Structure 1
Amino acid sequence: MIKNYLVAMMLFFGASQVIAQQQIKGSVSDDTGPIPGVSVVVKGTTTGTTTDFDGNYSIAANDGDVLLFSYVGYEPQEIVVSGKVINVTLKSGVSLDEVVLVGNRAKPRTILDSPVPIDNIGVAELKNTGQPTVDKMLTYKVPSFNSTTQAISDGTAHFDPADLRGLGPSRTLVLVNGKRKNQSALVYINDTPGKGEVGVDLKSIPAAAIERIEVLRDGASAQYGSDAIAGVINMVLKKDVEFTTVSAKAGVTTEGDGFNFGADLNTSLNLGKEGSYLNFTLGYYQQEETNRAGTPGKDDLFGVAADDPTFGDWLSENPDLGMTVGQPELKIMDIFVNAGVPIGDKGAEFYTFGGLTYRTGKSFALYRTPYWVQDPYNLLHEAGTEYQGFQPTFETDIRDNNMTVGFKWDWLGFNVDLSGTYGRNAVDYEVNNTLNVDLGANSPTSFEVGGYTFSNTLANLDLSRELGAFVVSFGAEVRGERFTAKPGDFASYYNPSGAGGAQSFPGLQPANAVNADRHNYGVYGALDWEPTEKILIGGAVRYEDFSDFGDNTSWKINGRYSLGEKGAIRASYSTGFRAPSLHQIYLSNVQTLVSGGTISNQGTFNNVDPIIRDGLGVPQLTAETSKNISAGITFKPISNLSLSLDFYNVKVDNRVLFTNEIGFDADTANTNPVEQILIDNSITSLKFFVNAVNTNTTGVDLVANYRNIELGSGKLGATLAANFNNTDIDGKIDTPALLEDNGYDIFNRKEQSRILSARPKTKVLLGFDYEINKWNLALNNTYFGEVTWQHATDEDKDQTFAGKVITDLIFGYQFSDRLSASLSVSNLLDVYPDEIETGGDVVTDLGGRFKYPWEVNQFGTNGTTISGGLNFKF
């Protein structure tokens, strides 16, 4: 009886799937020769590989399986397996037909077949931006993605905030080979885009290890869980490569600063078993600081005039007030691996991938002028010499490591993927070239001021199968997270006089120490149905339960109507959620603020502190929820021209925000309950995290590609891509009753502008790529739309910074099959943002120390950078 039941089950689930697989080999070429990097996938599975430098590939498959061959600029081909050798010749096509894995766990689809908008960006395209790191490469390739370097912003200067569709760093999920990447340890608490949020450290993934990046521009919480409200970025690592590649690149700005140098090595090792791979990447990158400080010639922050009888000489000799404002110093070392080994002869595979990144950095704080902070004990200047003041440095020591181990196999016709992932990001802070005035002659000039760590541990089980017109997938995830904060040394926070501890950044105190953790589990299911070749209907649902705030259920439906080879009409609707990060729940510290010559201490209290929960009546943080709708069309009028247009609307409820400073009001005769809390804690203002805002984001994405245009003896490709978006705050800000009753705003105009106007509402990319003989030329133009800084209370002091076009020019020359060189000129026309208007509010430019906007930063302030590189294969 049992035997007959098992036989029936095997027939039902397709016993043919367990037929012994064989290793299929072959090559892929076009009319000019072999094509490296072609995607080869067993259709209906997640089994795939890419061709090596000579266009060769090897993949495990059964007779009767269908192999799908695809590559940027070529039409895909499907070949039924029959025999052990399959050679393929691809015809010129368009990038719209690229195969992507993100957005569907069960069945790889082309971009044309996908019911949601996805970008597929190869490593060659990334490097053709001329940018040094992955986050900046994406900024110049994906219109809805933004990341800019921040200056004079403590830890944020070393973790550039990055986001999709202007929805903040917290709402973009980052994957590596389809597995969740850990967030960084840092909360952006300074006055920058993304303030109060937590993102992923995109500088921890070297471009040399990446084969391609898939950007899913649609809500995907029902498939991947928390954080995927704005979309998903999937970093696909290189597998087997035929040659070892060594690359080196160096550059410098036309101002003579900001020198950068990078070198990397990528290779594959033979593990001795057919179908196995081990890809290895070793990288190094460094950059020096740039300086684009303002030169006011007077100090509006402290009200010291240029002809001041005491300090006039110092001001005339230091018109920039001693400042260094620009990109920080940076050194990055990383090592990445991606490996897989077939097990048995039935398509099973053991795989592992991950990497370790070590990064150090140095940025700068506000210069302490001679009349601001004294040095009576000659700690920072020699006795007998004229005291010139000092600029503290903020230095970081960052470690990011991520590793996944897993198995894939076939079971009763299902593709099964079981994996475990551990990821950790840690940062330690030092403040140097400074002092603690309360320690007098005993003050050190270098301070360990504390640090943070964040880690997650995941176990994932995913199953998928194609059953006729249906593709079903389901699975489960268990995740544990931990956030820690360690205090600085005693000298860094010693503060009996209220002067602030170590100048520029007082150390974390023992009361700020944190060791918090939580766990959650999630289960999901998804079903795609293709009743005809033209119609695709899909849906997914996911349930997650968190140990610290409760559960959530998200769902998604999508559909696509194929127009055949001419394109498709697509639409989706989904609900989503984002769990408040552990950082946002437990972070606390004290910062030194300078405003109008007044030095004050600001306390950040965490969400579990009785002062916040009981004293101010702030509720427990809970999950943000979202509703995401998108609709679009892809159109391919001719073989080399493709267009896509997608509309989207994302509504986020209960958005977690970081409040503005809440301090003393103008009534000095009476003390209200909020002021009493400030007095009791020896601070002048406080801030906290709270669910308080609903937002509504509406936008349009446009992508047009025209490839293989015959022009002279070469071929021209052109790309036009654009994003238009707008975010509004829906309804009233949810202010706790005690604060509202005493007349406090918790999210003033200045803070609102960080989510409404700190990122460009319009961004347009127009790029041309021309290949002729051994030359490759790329001309990219990126329009960053206007951004607006809003004053906290006075709209007459607002400033809008106009949109600008950044032009990049890249030359490449192939000396031989093994050696190539490149020359890039980033920001060819030396474009800078509008300058900050002075005479309005000294807070805007911190008394003239900033020439260019720093709270709303479109594209940085480095100006023109010239870089050259060499690439050698052996």
Structure 2
Amino acid sequence: MFLGMSNLMLGQNVSGVVKDDTTQPVPGVSVVVKGTTVGTTTDFDGNYAINANNGDTLVFSYVGYETQEIEVSSSILNVTLQSGVALDAVVLTGNRSKPRTILDSAVPIDNIGLEEMRNTGQPTIDKMLTYKVPSFNSSTQTISDATAHFDPADLRGLGPSRTLVLVNGKRKNQSALVYINDTPGKGEVGVDLKSIPAAAIERIEVLRDGASAQYGSDAIAGVINMVLKKNVEYTTVNVKSGVTTEGDGFNFGVDLNTGLSGDNGGYLNVTAGYYEQEKTNRPGTPGTDVLIGVEAGDPTWGSWLADNPDLGMTVGQPELKKLDLFFNAGIPFKNDSGEFYTFGGVTTRQGKSFALYRAPYWVGDPHNLLHEAGTDYNGFQPTFETDVLDNNLTAGVKWNMFNFDVDFSGTYGRNRIDYDVNNTLNIDLGANSPTEFGVGGYTFSNSLANLDFSRSLGQVNVAFGAEIKQENFSARAGDAASYYNPTGNGGAQSFPGLQPSNAVRADRHNYGVYGDLEWEPSDALLIGGAVRYEDFSDFGDNVSWKVSGRYSLGDKGALRASYSTGFRAPSLHQIYLSNVQTLVSGGSISNQGTFNNVDPIIREDLGVPQLTAETSKNISAGITYKIKSNLSVSADFYNVKVDDRVLFTGEIGFDGDDASTNPVETILIANSITSLKFFVNAVNTNTTGLDLVVNYTNIDLGEGRLNATLAANFNETTIEGEIDTPALLEANGYNIFNRKEQSRITSSRPKSKILLGLDYNINKWNFILNNTYFGEVSWQHANNGLNGADLGNGPLPLDDAAFDQTFAGKVITDLIVGYEFSEKISANISVNNLLNVYPDEIDTKGDFVTDLGGRFKYPWEVNQFGFNGTVLNASVAFKF
């Protein structure tokens, strides 16, 4: 799937050095034989070597410099690049036939280098992208079980499931986790972006357009391709550390990147890294517990509430320890007739987050399991601990056959999660209860084989290929003690273990074939088209197609547009997931059951249809324009319609009518649960938006140079038509997707995000000032604040969203200062969230469910940028 650049041609070895207009060597410059996929990049000293013939044209391009095309006339070719703009950066994503610049591409693509990502001051890839790509969002979650350790991420507000992630152009496996808690992305499955270390990445290409016709399922919102480092001149060690101004959240990390290169063009790049972070805590301090019904003046517990106004809560980022090991390697065949390549890595991390604090009046400890005999019992806060293992490996061969570039590869990826719930107990086990429980876990893996062909035929570029994929999903039961529940108390407090009935091993396979054609009848006009057929063993087949066009405005820019259809296969997780989860609903503690889509209770008793693929229609149109050589602007309009979107229903429970029992309540009683949920195709959405990027680079300012970037995304998602509710549930008056769940799709992510970045270099100093505006988000009450609520003016009218809240947009300012002590030693200090900005505080408006009785000070079901406040970081990099 990935048409990487390798030495496949016969000819002479052309080499040289690339420098800028100040005679400094430029590392990382892309050098491509025009009209082919043959290419390389310059090393840290600006050196390059490539196989080409006399008369061939070499294209030299790099972000911030004008692209140069030079005809080969000798074996030595030195080049000087002039200051330019990012429109000339070469990208590979979205182009099956040959690399193109952002200026030449028919679809919008961001090209982000490693230094740009690190200059955000953020610790992980998902957070780096949040502060570099306006349409990308990911924020730290809290009190949300395993979701707190993955942080759902998405493009264009379309949910984690609809962004395809590639590594070196090969599909990255999804995580094993379904986000089932009340967070953005609820009910979705994404890729574990924390499992890819930034130190291993050369650049990230973000395709902001539907691409299912080229890459298959999941590419509805776009594609993120992470290109790994290949040739490096130095071994680099980077050490970093930081802490919040509140004195918590201490973090420490170290990473090493090194490489070997052979005279024949072979390479081996290796990255190793370690990162850890401590928890932060920003709880509410209600001093009273209306959730359980214990007031501040309670004669028994009033003193405990006075001593523990935060109700014992820990609300903030989880603890984390992470270890990475990645590699990227290639070995050319003799006579440069092809290349064997392989890359992959393994990440292991352990995390600890926290559940709701069990106050002493809520859960007792009569056998002194969690406190010493003779001491006052103050309750306990269970911990939710994860052990995540993510590994992937790709191996392949590239060669030339009948003038076609051929790429044959195999990929295996796996993500495994094991859960432990500690510092808790199972009431039903009495004095024999453990205080630590293994509560089960999940594993997802995929195996792929890809065969791709491409060829340039003058004005026509053609590509075609095939893919076979096998997916596996398994759920493992927890310790018997974790789910032992004879009296209905729920098993292990905070998270009852997965039961043997929840354990599952499921698999499916699919195959796909595609064709891709580009025609350039003139230098100005490019017309492209792609079609892909996929067949899945569990739900059937799909055909997706795409047409695109670009009209060049010479060296000034281009007009571009595309229209495509797409699809997303329901994940195996969404089909087979089942569990019982403890939650707070309507002021009471209850057990909620998730039933999978193949359960007879769901399919036969409730009449829920089999899950099938979502389908989409995606249109985009835009312009890129160079106002002058170092000032450019691009604007892209888009509209994405998704039909039959897979959703995770809201809580379906007792209807409050004690006089009779309906069919749903019969199921609840039989399974000892108070509510149930399931997955179903039931919603159509319409997303409209605008992406805007302005780059003004290499501005002479005093003795230094200033680069400025303004990037913005504006979007609006609406739900079209009626929710497709199964007939039995509709007949009994159930709303399977209430206002709160709908707002999770339409308003839990910012509808606008604006980034303004200033980067000033003077002598050995580098000053970066980033301002990121996160637009407002909204939380909506599940039933509009009804159920007989009275705020002093009589019962609420039906159209009064009394308990809803909109959290205002805020600007986060980051300051990074760097200094180069020498060519091999540099350091920087960053202050993230310089002005200590927090989200608006929750206003319950009389509804304690909104903030769980004051336990949360800041919004958690909708989340713009987290609530850690100011973070101070420092790092030192060594090259040797």
TM range (shorter): over 0.9
Q: Is the 8 A contact 2:9 2:51 kept in 1?
A: no
Report deviation, 1:403.
0.7
Counterpart Cα distance in 2 of 1:417 and 1:557? 24
Aligned to 1:9: none
Letter in 1 for 2:624: T
For the residue of structure 1 that corresponds to 2:666, the secondary structure is helix
Q: In 2 relative to 1, CA 19–193 (structure 1 residues): closer, same or farther, beyond 3 Å?
A: closer
Aligned to 1:191: 182
Aligned to 2:424: 434
Aligned to 2:860: 854
Letter in 2 for 1:239: K
Aligned to 2:57: 66
Q: Is the 8 A contact 1:40 1:67 kept in 2?
A: yes
Aligned to 1:309: 299
Structure 1 residue 726 corresponds to structure 2 residue 732: no
Counterpart Cα distance in 2 of 1:851 and 1:28? 54
Aligned to 2:352: 362
Q: Is the 8 A contact 1:61 1:347 kept in 2?
A: no
After superposition, the CA RMSD in angstroms is 1.0
Report deviation, 1:21.
3.3
Aligned to 1:616: 606
Report deviation, 1:600.
1.2
For the residue of structure 2 that corresponds to 1:222, the secondary structure is helix
State the Cα deviation string for residues 804-846 of structure 1 (Å, max 9, x = none): 0000000010111000000000000000000001342111111
> Which of residues 786, 809, 812 in structure 2 aligns to 1:803?
809
Q: Is the 8 A contact 1:302 1:596 kept in 2?
A: no
Structure 2 length normalisation: TM-score? 0.97
Counterpart Cα distance in 1 of 2:587 and 2:718? 34
Counterpart Cα distance in 2 of 1:585 and 1:64? 57
Aligned to 1:181: 172
Q: In 2 relative to 1, CA 274–18 (structure 1 residues): closer, same or farther, beyond 3 Å?
A: closer
Counterpart Cα distance in 2 of 1:19 and 1:203? 38
Aligned to 2:570: 580
Aligned to 2:820: 814
Q: Is the 8 A contact 1:49 1:239 kept in 2?
A: no
Aligned to 1:714: 704
Q: Is the 8 A contact 1:273 1:341 kept in 2?
A: no
For the residue of structure 2 that corresponds to 1:281, the secondary structure is strand
Structure 1 residue 838 corresponds to structure 2 residue 829: no
Q: Is the 8 A contact 2:8 2:399 kept in 1?
A: no
> Which of residues 123, 127, 130 in structure 2 aligns to 1:139?
130
Letter in 1 for 2:142: A
State the Cα deviation string for residues 297-329 of structure 1 (Å, max 9, x = none): 111211211111100110000000000000000
Q: In 2 relative to 1, CA 507–18 (structure 1 residues): closer, same or farther, beyond 3 Å?
A: closer
Report deviation, 1:61.
3.0
> Which of residues 105, 113, 116 in structure 1 aligns to 2:107?
116
Structure 1 residue 599 corresponds to structure 2 residue 589: yes
For the residue of structure 1 that corresponds to 2:598, the secondary structure is coil
Which runs of structure 2 are paired with 1:141-540 in the superposition (5 Å)?
141-270=132-261, 272-540=262-530
Counterpart Cα distance in 2 of 1:45 and 1:330? 45
Counterpart Cα distance in 1 of 2:745 and 2:586? 26
Structure 1 length normalisation: TM-score? 0.97
Structure 1 residue 35 corresponds to structure 2 residue 33: no
Counterpart Cα distance in 1 of 2:772 and 2:325? 32
Counterpart Cα distance in 1 of 2:873 and 2:8? 53
> Which of residues 56, 75, 78 in structure 1 aligns to 2:69?
78
Report deviation, 1:19.
6.6
Report deviation, 1:709.
0.5
For the residue of structure 1 that corresponds to 2:853, the secondary structure is coil
Letter in 2 for 1:827: N
Q: Is the 8 A contact 2:8 2:38 kept in 1?
A: no
Counterpart Cα distance in 2 of 1:65 and 1:495? 74
Aligned to 1:21: 11
> Which of residues 700, 703, 711 in structure 1 aligns to 2:690?
700
For the residue of structure 2 that corresponds to 1:124, the secondary structure is helix
Counterpart Cα distance in 2 of 1:843 and 1:796? 13
Letter in 1 for 2:628: I
Report deviation, 1:161.
0.1
Aligned to 2:556: 566
Gaps of 5+ in 2: 1-6, 785-800
Report deviation, 1:596.
4.3
Q: Is the 8 A contact 1:117 1:217 kept in 2?
A: yes
Aligned to 1:8: none
Letter in 1 for 2:454: S
For the residue of structure 2 that corresponds to 1:107, the secondary structure is coil
Q: Is the 8 A contact 1:18 1:412 kept in 2?
A: no
Structure 1 residue 735 corresponds to structure 2 residue 725: yes
Structure 1 residue 681 corresponds to structure 2 residue 687: no
For the residue of structure 2 that corresponds to 1:739, the secondary structure is helix
- Size of the alignment, in residue pairs? 857
Q: Is the 8 A contact 2:21 2:83 kept in 1?
A: no
State the Cα deviation string for residues 237-280 of structure 1 (Å, max 9, x = none): 0000000000001000000000001100001124x442011000
Aligned to 1:645: 635
Report deviation, 1:83.
3.0
Report deviation, 1:65.
3.0
Q: Is the 8 A contact 2:591 2:673 kept in 1?
A: yes
Aligned to 2:39: 48
Report deviation, 1:597.
4.0
Aligned to 2:793: none
Letter in 2 for 1:173: L
Counterpart Cα distance in 1 of 2:204 and 2:39? 16
Q: In 2 relative to 1, CA 639–19 (structure 1 residues): closer, same or farther, beyond 3 Å?
A: closer
Letter in 2 for 1:277: Y
Report deviation, 1:58.
2.1
Letter in 2 for 1:774: K
Aligned to 2:794: none
Aligned to 1:766: 756
Letter in 2 for 1:379: L
Q: Is the 8 A contact 1:482 1:517 kept in 2?
A: yes
Counterpart Cα distance in 2 of 1:376 and 1:302? 20
Aligned to 2:91: 100
For the residue of structure 2 that corresponds to 1:797, the secondary structure is coil
Stretch of structure 1 that moved more, 299-308 or 863-872: 299-308
Aligned to 1:751: 741
Report deviation, 1:375.
0.2
Q: Is the 8 A contact 1:655 1:694 kept in 2?
A: yes
State the Cα deviation string for residues 529-559 of structure 1 (Å, max 9, x = none): 0001100000000000000000000000000
Aligned to 1:6: none
Counterpart Cα distance in 1 of 2:73 and 2:510? 46
Letter in 1 for 2:769: L
Aligned to 1:557: 547
Counterpart Cα distance in 2 of 1:642 and 1:513? 55
Aligned to 2:879: 873
Letter in 2 for 1:196: G
Q: Is the 8 A contact 1:101 1:109 kept in 2?
A: yes
